[in-house]
Amino acid sequence: MPTPVVTHVILTIMMISISLISIAFFLGFSRAVAENIVKPQVNEVIQYISRQMLTLYILINSSDSKLIVKELNIPSSIMNRGYRIE
């Protein structure tokens, strides 16, 4: 029969392990939910940029102007995270 101290140590280790596993699970779950929220917003920005590039390409081919400037209205961040367009 194990002593009460050994039992207490084993149960404490089990509780800490279960707590850490629960925290890891919920962090992974919240990351997956955030990713599913961000994907449609990123796709909207990508589609907007591609449409504007196509429009600009058509304008360049039909114009004799040497300088054409196009301003894109895109959000500076998505879900409070910056991004870079390359």
* More confident call, 80 vs 12: 12
What pLDDT was estimated at residue 76?
86
Measured CA to CA, the distance from residue 35 to residue 42 in angstroms comes to 10
Q: Average pLDDT, whole number, for the chain?
A: 91
Kind plus residue range of the DSSP H or E element containing 18: helix 4-62
DSSP of 40-80, one letter per residue? HHHHHHHHHHHHHHHHHHHHHHH---S---------S-BTT
**13-46 pLDDT, tens digit each:** 999 999 999 999 999 999 999 999 999 999 999 9
3-state secondary structure at position 82: coil
**Annotated domain spans of the chain:** 4-80
